[in-house]
Amino acid sequence: MRVLVTGGAGYIGSVTAAVLLDRGHQVVVVDSLVNGYEDAVPAGARFVRADVLDRAALTDVFEQPLDGVLHFAARALVGESVEQPDLYFRTNVVGTLNLLDAMLACGVGRIVFSSTAATYGEPEQVPVREDAATHPTNPYGASKLVVDGILAAYATAYRLAAVSLRYFNVAGSYRGRGERHNPETHLIPNLLRAVREPGGAGRDGFTLHGTDYPTPDGTCIRDYVHVADLAEAHLLALDGAVAGEHRIYNLGSGSGYSVREVLAEVQRVTGHRVPVAEGPRRAGDPARLVASSERIERDLGWQRRRTLEDMITDAWATLPA
């Protein structure tokens, strides 16, 4: 296949592009480099520096035949989305509409969309299933939910084959491609940075937000998926997309890990103590957020193959100095 990967210079997009190439597919990467890195684009992929808000640039990309699209390009910082909702709805929603228009104009009928667990907000039951109510608590999650609705409408009206993948926390690395977010907001890389450079995650090392949640050890429980497992899910979804249907799949472990469990595993894998300061809960943090992946396992045969140890080990090996 010849596949377009938007946001392919970012963390998950670049890993997925690399997996596609390893499987013998041709890859075109489109990225504005606002949050991505050109050196993350895997060798062998054609790179086009363009923003999804640039309709003319997208039209040029589709001049060459394409079999499908993996759509990662988006703004993805929750706090920033609260401060600049216009930026998030413009990039995530209007950018996707531009992409869909280019696809339809050129007869490209398959898309897999990088959605998010943030569409659910604070779920009433866990593990979270795909039929759970969607009540996003921030503009980031709301913008992704709008796109899910657009894809459903396009599938009905234009026979688009669309899949939305909603995932929770992604970690690990693949062929040297690890997380390089700025600012870094994810737990595992922040813990690893606190090991490598005490004070790198704050002057007191790592701050543990909330120790009085109604969980076995008092800290939040979250779901984690290895980035390589996630990439494989995108390939399966692209293969399994059906014309006229919009399918939604969660990706997770079904159980999750508490912050203290992740902390203990980081210390075990690295052999170093993580300097930790305890702080108050952060507003809006639910006690437990875990996904059920039964639907994608049943429909597409996806399996979560890599463990928390694998995620931490891989991330530690590729942590920027």
Query: Which pairing describes strands 276-279 and 206-209: parallel, antiparallel, or unpaired?
Result: parallel
Asked whether 222 and 169 are in contact (CB, 8 A), the reply is yes
- DSSP 8-state secondary structure symbol assigned to residue 131: T
Active site residue 140: yes
> Tokens 């957020």 identify what position?
289
Question: Catalytic residue among 140, 174, 213, 249, which?
Answer: 140
CA 41 to chain CA mean position, Å:
17
**Alpha carbons within 13 A on the beta-carbon side of 172:** 21
CA–CA separation, 98 vs 120, rounded Å?
Answer: 25
Beta strand 257-258 with 221-222 is antiparallel
Which residues neighbour 280 within 8 Å (Cβ) at sequence distance 6 or greater?
Answer: 209, 210
Tokens of 197: 């450079």
Collapsed DSSP state (helix, strand, coil) of residue 2: strand
Q: Which residues are catalytic?
A: 140
